[in-house]
Structure 1
Amino acid sequence: MPCLLGIDNGLTVTKAVVFDETGAVLSVARRRIPQIMTKARHVERDMAGLWAATAEAISDAIAESGRPASEIAAVAATAHGDGLYLLDRDGNPLGHGILSLDSRAGDIVAHWDGDGTAEAALALSGQRPHASAPASLLAHIREHEPERFGAIGTAFACKDWLRYCLTGTIGTDLTEASTSFTEVASQAYAPDILELYGLGALSGALPEVALPDAVIGGVTPQAAALTGLVAGTPVVAGLHDVTASSLGIGGYGVGQVAVVAGTYSINETVSTRPVVDARWFCRNGLRFGEWNNMAISPASAANYDWFLDRLCKSDQKAAEVEGASIHERLGREIGEAIERPSTVLFHPYLFGSPHGSTASAGFLGLRGWHGRADMLRAVIEGIAFNHRVHVGDLRQGFEMKTAKLTGGISRNPLFAQLFADVLGMTVTVTDTEEAAAWGAALCAGSGIGLFSSPTNDPRDLASVGHDYHPDPVRQKALDERYGLHSDLAKALAPLWPRIEAFSSEGAE
C-alpha cells in the first residue's frame, strides 16, 4: 500500500512524517535546528545545516515506519512562511536563511508606511509589507549588504530550499509566491511590484510558480543517498505552512476559520473573491480563484511556553523525574483558577502584537495574593483574546460559522473550551497528528492521483473531531474581560513607545 512523506520545517524543529494512505501516522522523526542571532533583531539559520538535519529526519522516519522506502509514493514539504532564503547564480546558498521571527527590516517598513509604499502594496498585492516579508528583507539587504544583494540569483522560501535539495529544481508554489510579489486579482507575479519596493534589479530572481500539488521533479540520486528515499520518487511543489496546517485539520474552506495557536496567532479563512483590508493578508489559496485571508501576529502559545521555561523550570524537572506531564499538572491548577474570580489580565505581546512593534507584554490587576495559577489563567486568556482580535477582524469581511483549532494547547480540553467561549462559536479540535505535515502529504497524494484534490481528505473528519460549544455564562463573563483587555491596549498605546525607549539600544 502506498505511503506519503510530509516534511514540516518550523522555526526551531524540522520533522519528517510518514503517513499511510488513510492519513494514519506511521512514524515521526525530528531534528532541532539552531537559530543564529548574531545581532539584535536578526534571526537566521544555516541552510546547509537545515538540509542535513532534514535528510537525517527523513532517513529516521523511513527506518521507523516499518515500510520500505519503495512504498513512499510521493513527497511534499511545508515550512515556515515569509522570511527569506537566497541562492547565488550558481545555485549555492547565499548567506544564512532568514526566519519569519526576524525584524531587522522594521525601519524599512516604517519608511514605507510613511511614504505611501505600504498603501500601494496593499492595493496591488492584497497586503501591507511587514518586517519579515521577503520584500522588506530584500530591501534591507539592498541597503546594508549591497555585495550580497548584487549576487542574488534566486529569492525563495524555506520549503523551496528543501524542494531544491530533494530534486535540484528551483521554484515555488502558488501560496508562497503571494507573500510579497503577486497581484491580488490575477494571483500571478505583478510586473511592476519589484519596482514599487526598489527591487527592480531582481526581476530574474523570482522562481517559477506551480500549484501546491503539481509534481515538479523526482528525488535525485544524491538526495536519495542522504535520505534513504528511492531516487525518482515524485516530489510536489508543497505549500506555505499556514495553509498546510489549515488543510491538515480540515479547516481549509469557505464559511469556517482555521485557528492555529502556535508561535504565531494564525487565523485564516478562504474566500472565492479577493477582499483586501489592512487587517489581514489576502493571499493565494490552493487554486486560482481561491484566496486565503490570514490575520496573524506573533502573540500566541509562545507566551505559555515562555512562562513555563522562565518561571516553572523546577516543576518541569520534577515532572520529568516523575515521568509526569507538567502540562497536566498546570492544567489542573489553571482549571481551579478559572472557577474563582480574578482581576489578573495579561497582554501576550512578548514577541510581537497586532498593535505595532513597540507593544510589549504585561500583567495587570496582579495582587500579592495571586499565585502562579492565576497568572497562567491570565496568559491563556490573553492568548485566546489575541486570537479573538484577529477573528473579529475577519468576521467583518467574511461570514464564518465554525472554527477549527490546532496547536499544542488545543490538546487540552480546558483550553479548547476557553477558545469556544472567547470566540463565541463552536470550535472543533480534530484528532490530527502533525497537521502541517499531513497538509503537505495531502498535496503529495493529490499530485500522484491518490486523492482527487488536496482537500479530499480520506479521513472521516466528523469522527476524528471533538466539538466545543460556547457556554453562555462563561461567554458573557469573558466578553467583559475581553472588553477590558482591548480598552487597556488602547490606553497603553501611547505609553508602549515610551517604555521601549528605556531599552539601552533604543528600539532593540
Structure 2
Amino acid sequence: MPCLLGIDSGLTVTKAVVFDEAGAPLAVARRRVAQIMSEPRHVERDMNGLWRAAAEAIAQALSDCGRLASDIAAVAATAHGDGLYMLDRDRQPLGHGILSLDSRAGDVAARWNTDGTARTALSRTGQTPHASAPSSLLAWIRDHEPERFAHIGHVLACKDWLRLCLTGNLGTDLTEASTSFTAVDTQAYAPDILSIFGLEALADALPPVARPDELVGAITAQAARDTGLVAGTPVVAGLHDVTASALGIGGYGEGVVAIVAGTYSINETVSAAPRVDARWFCRNGLKPGEWNNMSISPASAANYDWFLDTLCGSERAAAEADGRSIHAIVGPEIEAALARPSTLLFHPYLFGSPHGPAASAGFLGLRGWHDRGDMLRAVIEGIAFNHRVHVDALREGFPAREARLTGGISRNSALAQVFADVLGMPITVTEREEAAAWGAALCAGAGVGLFASPRHDPRELTTLGRAYRPDPGRSAAMDKRYRLHCDIANRLADAWPSIEALAEKGEP
C-alpha cells in the first residue's frame, strides 16, 4: 500500500508526517527551528537551517514509520503563510526568511491605510495589506535596505523554499500566490498590482503558479541524500497552511467555518464567488473558481501557552519531569472558575490583534480574591472572544451552519464548550493531531491519482470528531461578556499608542 509524506513548517516547529493511504499517521517527527529576533519587531529564521531541520525530520519519520522509502508515493509541503523568503538571482537565500510574526513593516501598512493604497489594494487583490504581508515587507526592504532589494531575484513563501530544496524547481501555488499580488477576480497575477505598492521592479521575481495538487517536480539526488527519500519521488506544489488545516479537519467548504486556535486566530470559509471586505482576506481556494475567505489575527492560543510558560513555568517543568501534564493540573481550576461569576476579562493581544500593531494585552476587572483559575478562564474567554470577532464578520458575508475547530486548546472539552457558547453555534472538534500535514498529503495523493481531488478525504469524517452545542444560558452570559470585551477594546484604541510610546522613548 502506498504512503504519503506531508511536511508542515510552522512558526517554531517543522514536522514530517508519513500517512498511509487511508489517512492514518504512521510516524511523526519534529524539529524546532530557532527564531532570530535581532531587534524589536524583526522575527526571522535561517533558511538553510530550516531546510536542515526539515530534512532531519523527514529522515526520522521515514526511519520510524516501518515502511520503505520507496513506498512514499508523493510528497507535499505546507507552511506558515505571508512573511517573506527571498532569493538572489543565483537562487541563494538573500538573508534570513521573515516570519509572519514580523511587524517591522507596521508603519508601511499604517501609511497605506491613510494614503489610499490599502483601499486600492483591497479592491484589486481582495485584501488590505498588513504588517507581515509580502507587499508590506518588500516595500520596507525597498525603503530601508535598498542594496538588498536590488539583489532580489525570487520572492517565495516558506513552503516554496522547501519545495525548491526538495526538487530544484522554483514556483508557488494558487493559495500562496494570492497573499499580495493576484487579482481577486481573475485569481492570477495582474501587471498593475505591483505598481500599487511601488514594487514594479519585481515583475520578474514572482514565481510561476500551480494548483496545490499539481505535480511540479521530483526529489533530486541531493535531497534524497539529505532526507532518505528515493530520488524521483513525485512532489506536488503544496499549499498555504491555513487552507491545509481546513482541508485536514474536513472543514474546507461552503457553509462551514474552519477555526484554528493556534499562534494565530484563524477563521475561514469557502465561497464560489469573490466577496471583498476589509475584515477578511478574499484569497484563492484550492482551484480556480473557489475563494477562501480568511479572517485572521495573531491573537489566539499562544496567549494561553504564554501564561503557562511565564506564570506556571516551574510547576510545568516539575509536572513534565513526573510524566504529568500542566493542563491536567490547571484544568480543574479553570472548570471551577467557569462555574462562578467573575469580573475578570482579558484581551489576548500579546503577539498582535485585529486592532493594529499598537494594541497590547491586559487583564481588566482583576481583584485580590481572584486566583489562577480565574485568570486562565479570562485568557481562554478572551481567545474565544477574539475568534468571535472574526467569525461574526464571516457570518455577515457568508452562510455558516457550523464550525470545525482544531488546535491544542480544543482537546480540552471544557475549553471547546467555551467556544461553542461564545460563538453560539454548533462546533465539531476534529480529532486530528496533524491537520495541516494531512491537508498537504491529500494534495500529494490527488497529484498522483490516489484521490480524485484533495477534497476526497478517504477517512470517515463523522467518526473523527466530537460535537459541542451551545448552552442557551451560558451562551447568553458569554454574549454579555463578549460585548463588554469589544466595548473596552474600542475605548482603549486611543490609549494603546501612548502605552507603546513609553518603550519607544527609551524610558526606564
Query: Residue type of the partner of 1:435?
Result: A
Tell me the residue number matched to 1:356: 356
Tell me the residue number matched to 1:133: 133
Tell me the residue number matched to 1:75: 75
Task: Note the alpha carbon deviations across 1:368-416, whole angstroms, 9 max, x for none.
Answer: 0111000000000000000000000111100101000000101111111
Task: Note the alpha carbon deviations across 1:171-218, whole angstroms, 9 max, x for none.
Answer: 000000000000000000021111111111111000000000000000
Q: Identify unmatched segments of 5+ residues in structure 2.
A: none
Tell me if the contact between 2:103 and 2:357 (Cα under 8 Å) persists in the aligned partners: no
Q: Does 1:438 align with 2:411?
A: no
Query: Residue type of the partner of 2:132?
Result: S
Tell me the residue number matched to 1:181: 181
Task: Note the alpha carbon deviations across 1:295-330, whole angstroms, 9 max, x for none.
Answer: 000000010011011100121022113211111111
Alpha-carbon distance, 1:504 to partner: 3.8
Alpha-carbon distance, 1:433 to partner: 2.0
Moved over 6 A (4+): none
Q: Identify unmatched segments of 5+ residues in structure 1.
A: none
Query: Residue type of the partner of 2:146?
Result: P
Task: Note the alpha carbon deviations across 1:340-393, whole angstroms, 9 max, x for none.
Answer: 111100000111111111111110111001110000000000000000000001
The structure-2 alpha-carbon separation of the partners of 1:40 and 1:368, relative to structure 1 and needing over 3 Å to count, comes to same
Alpha-carbon distance, 1:136 to partner: 0.7
Give the length in aligned residue pairs. 507
Tell me the residue number matched to 1:320: 320
Tell me the residue number matched to 1:61: 61
Tell me the residue number matched to 2:419: 419
TM score, norm. by length of structure 1: 0.99
Query: Residue type of the partner of 1:335?
Result: E
Tell me the residue number matched to 1:384: 384
Partner Cα separation in structure 2 for residue 188 and residue 506 of structure 1: 46
Query: Residue type of the partner of 2:480?
Result: E
| Identity %, equivalent residues | 72
The structure-2 alpha-carbon separation of the partners of 1:505 and 1:4, relative to structure 1 and needing over 3 Å to count, comes to farther
Partner Cα separation in structure 1 for residue 72 and residue 505 of structure 2: 51
Tell me the residue number matched to 1:22: 22
Tell me the residue number matched to 2:122: 122
Task: Note the alpha carbon deviations across 1:10-57, whole angstroms, 9 max, x for none.
Answer: 000000000001110100000000001111111000000100110000
SS in 1 for 2:346: strand
Partner Cα separation in structure 2 for residue 485 and residue 228 of structure 1: 51
Alpha-carbon distance, 1:503 to partner: 1.4
Task: Note the alpha carbon deviations across 1:410-456, whole angstroms, 9 max, x for none.
Answer: 11111111100100010001111200000000000000000000010
TM score, norm. by length of structure 2: 0.99
Superposed counterparts of 1:115-264, under 5 Å: 115-264=115-264
Tell me the residue number matched to 1:52: 52
Partner Cα separation in structure 2 for residue 36 and residue 378 of structure 1: 31
Tell me the residue number matched to 1:89: 89
The structure-2 alpha-carbon separation of the partners of 1:320 and 1:17, relative to structure 1 and needing over 3 Å to count, comes to same
The structure-2 alpha-carbon separation of the partners of 1:504 and 1:121, relative to structure 1 and needing over 3 Å to count, comes to closer
Tell me if the contact between 1:303 and 1:350 (Cα under 8 Å) persists in the aligned partners: yes
Tell me if the contact between 1:500 and 1:506 (Cα under 8 Å) persists in the aligned partners: no
SS in 1 for 2:420: helix
Alpha-carbon distance, 1:505 to partner: 4.5
Query: Residue type of the partner of 2:356?
Result: G
Q: Does 1:486 align with 2:486?
A: yes
Partner Cα separation in structure 1 for residue 466 and residue 50 of structure 2: 36
Superposed counterparts of 1:242-321, under 5 Å: 242-321=242-321
Task: Note the alpha carbon deviations across 1:71-101, whole angstroms, 9 max, x for none.
Answer: 0000000000000001111111111000000
Tell me if the contact between 1:283 and 1:291 (Cα under 8 Å) persists in the aligned partners: yes
Partner Cα separation in structure 2 for residue 314 and residue 226 of structure 1: 38
SS in 1 for 2:466: strand
The structure-2 alpha-carbon separation of the partners of 1:459 and 1:225, relative to structure 1 and needing over 3 Å to count, comes to same
What value does the CA root-mean-square deviation take over the aligned residues?
A: 0.9
Alpha-carbon distance, 1:483 to partner: 1.1
